Amino acid sequence: MKRILGIGLMLSLSLGAEKIAVIEIKGMSCPLCTVAVKRSLQKTPGVFKAKVKLNTRRATVRFQDDLNTSKLLEAIRAAGGYEGKILSVTPSAPQKH
């Protein structure tokens, strides 16, 4: 039993805790805007995955929990002057990246 717990602890330490942020984005006006935002988010150290939708004007970002969410908003701004607003941040089970 101790061995199993130990393996579990090692795994969570090596994978790190993750979070998911849902961000509202203002200023996206065409499908290509979503590409620019997605690329900018995914270039940010600590971001594992980003999905951006034009119809909802929202991004869903999976990131390392020690990353300050202000970095996500900076990345969105850097993509072309878009304005992001964090709607929610929730813990997520670590995934294979």
- Stretch touching other proteins by CB under 8 A, among 5-13, 46-54, 67-75, 89-97: 46-54
- Closer CB to other proteins, 69 or 80, in the complex: 80
Angle at 91 between CA 18 and CA 60, to 5 degrees: 75
Task: Name the residue among 45, 48, 84, 80 with its Cα closest to residue 63.
Answer: 48
- Asked if residue 18 lies in contact with residue 48, where contact means CB atoms within 8 angstroms, the answer is yes
> Is 84 an interacting residue with respect to other proteins (CB under 8 A)?
no
- Closer CB to other proteins, 56 or 70, in the complex: 56
- Stretch touching other proteins by CB under 8 A, among 1-9, 11-19, 28-36, 83-91: 28-36
Query: Which amino acid, one-letter code, is at 95?
Result: Q
